Structure 1
Amino acid sequence: MPGTDRPYLRYVALGDSQTEGLGDGDEIVGLRGWADRLAEQLVRHSPDLHYANLAVRGRLAGQVHAEQLAPALDLRPDLATVVAGVNDLLRPRFDADEVAGHLEAMFAALTAQGARVATLTFPDMTRIIPIARPLGSRITALNSRVRHAARRHGVVVAETGHHPVVTDPRLWSADRLHAGPLGHQRIAAAVAHALALPGSDDSWTHALPLDGSSPAGWHAVPGELRWAAAFLGPWLGRRLRGRSSGDGRTAKRPDLLPVRTMAGTGQ
């Protein structure tokens, strides 16, 4: 199995909108995202790296398992990242054991095939979206189960949920559900650090400078009302209609391609 002294040749990313890259780029210039950024870091030390990203926005953990695991195994990765569960957290019915079961099944299958697998824990969303306070216990429960499942299968965990900087508004996009460019950069650095990649360190955990650039009024009532109208309302509308932001979408990078082909595509 490749390690820090042996280059990775095939990296496959599984997941939902965060891994797809929402919040980092757009539909016109293309999405980048933390997995793309991690691949760019990997290729500095693994020039022959090929990378596929199977993630699709809106997918629940069970859908990631059902739709992405078999194609991932067919690609025979020596490195895979598996990140899912946030969409489940936001649903009225949430079962931490069920979600963790899907994650563990993917951990087991990928590691059994010889891949090095990495995942991450989730930040406290209640510090980003105050009205999401009822979700706090769900996040704690899911993170605990992710750690236990990862330990059973030798999966590397980037503990992004532990550090206060991850809830700094400057790391998040306006919808507060997806990381912004700086947030995706920090996630990529966190996973690289967990994998002990050459040149990685814990600087991703450091607080951002107090430069006055933090968005003002996020947690004031007018700011909350504007956010609810712009983002929460449409999200609830899709749920009531039984629709998802990922309906009709497929993976942006379903095949293993050289990372250099990402240059100039907006990714």
Structure 2
Amino acid sequence: MSGFGAHLVKEDIVSYVALGDSFTEGMSDPYPDSDTVPNGRYRGWADRLAEHLADHVAEVRYANLAVRGKLVGQIVDEQLPRAVELAPDLVTLCAGGNDIIRPGSDPDAVASVFEGAVRELSRTGAHVVVFTGFDTNWQPVMRHMRGKIATYNMNVRAVADTYGCDVVDLWSMRILDDQRAWSWDRLHLSSEGHRRMALRVAEVLGVPVEGDWNEPWPPVAARPWRAARQDDLYWAREFLVPWIGRRLTGRSSGDNVRPKRPVLEPLRRN
């Protein structure tokens, strides 16, 4: 467990910057007023973590630079310089997932770019938290990617050891093997998944919170085989085919999307 939680209670002001892609942007976890905000507005585990931090200090200054669809190189080019400039106390960095799921990607090469980002963040004196990739064993269509993800995860752990980062091990979070942890697209966490993720990151940091990220899911009846296959077909039509189309045309879901919190500003609960 990290010593950041013990450090936290001694401070009046704590600054936190979140870097990454859709996972950190918070997609599929909308705020209640999201329908009234252009392009939608997402909460996500990072916003929830900032709220947990705010339970222990007078002021949390929070920026979230994450943008959906970003590759690790884009995060380095577009988000890292701003994070270094902001010089926060705490940084979370989850990157590489969009690279790894692309056909032909090399997890070792992706990890090399990731290491460069961690090196720069570490030089600022910030407390850095990194994340492994999820285990896709529960997802039939993406199960074949487990080997690449596992290789990348070992690289991430090696980088964390080198630079003294905390690691949130998503691979070992078996509670996320349940479909209720995921949104309809099977790639982004549901609101409940994001809530549990925030509790898990707080635990790694040693920040006291109410609630247990590993609380068992309530029992639920198994879906009939035919209904499950219909769900698979719906997912392929509504998500997989458009995703492939964007890859073939060089487009991204993050095109023309700006970071939701580009500057460090006091957290105001919604």
* TM-score after normalising by structure 1: 0.90
Q: Deviations over 1:13-72 (max 9, x none)?
A: 000001011010175252100100000000111221100000000000111111111000
- Answering whether residue 157 of structure 2 is matched by residue 144 of structure 1, we say no
Paired residues in the alignment total 259
SS of corresponding position for 1:28: helix
Aligned-residue offset at 1:216: 6.7
Superposition pairs of residues 246-257 of structure 1, within 5 angstroms: 246-257=254-265
- Answering whether residue 213 of structure 2 is matched by residue 210 of structure 1, we say no
Q: Is contact 1:218–1:224 with CA below 8 Å preserved after alignment?
A: no
1:177 maps to a residue whose letter is L
1:235 maps to a residue whose letter is W
Aligned-residue offset at 1:200: 6.7
Aligned-residue offset at 1:221: 2.5
Q: Structure 1 residues 231 and 185, CA, compared in 2 at 3 Å: closer, same or farther?
A: same
- Answering whether residue 41 of structure 2 is matched by residue 68 of structure 1, we say no
Give the equivalent residue in structure 2 for 1:36: 47
Q: Is contact 1:50–1:258 with CA below 8 Å preserved after alignment?
A: yes
130-139 or 191-200, larger mean C-alpha shift:
191-200
Q: Structure 1 residues 124 and 80, CA, compared in 2 at 3 Å: closer, same or farther?
A: same
Structure 2 gaps, min length 5: none
1:176 maps to a residue whose letter is R
**Could you tell me the percent identity over the aligned residues?**
43
Aligned-residue offset at 1:215: 7.0
5-14 or 42-51, larger mean C-alpha shift:
5-14
Aligned-residue offset at 1:207: 2.5
Q: Distance in 1 between matches of 2:125 and 2:227?
A: 46
Superposition pairs of residues 10-25 of structure 1, within 5 angstroms: 10-25=15-30
* TM-score after normalising by structure 2: 0.89
Q: Is contact 2:135–2:170 with CA below 8 Å preserved after alignment?
A: no
Q: Distance in 2 between matches of 1:251 and 1:116?
A: 22
SS of corresponding position for 2:17: strand
Q: Is contact 2:20–2:70 with CA below 8 Å preserved after alignment?
A: yes
241, 245, 260: which one aligns with 1:237? 245
Q: Distance in 2 between matches of 1:245 and 1:133?
A: 23
Give the equivalent residue in structure 2 for 1:189: 199
Q: Distance in 1 between matches of 2:76 and 2:226?
A: 35
- Answering whether residue 260 of structure 2 is matched by residue 259 of structure 1, we say no
Give the equivalent residue in structure 1 for 2:143: 133
Q: Distance in 1 between matches of 2:73 and 2:90?
A: 21
Q: Structure 1 residues 36 and 224, CA, compared in 2 at 3 Å: closer, same or farther?
A: same
Structure 1 gaps, min length 5: none
Aligned-residue offset at 1:186: 1.2
Q: Distance in 2 between matches of 1:76 and 1:252?
A: 19
Aligned-residue offset at 1:217: 5.8
SS of corresponding position for 1:118: strand
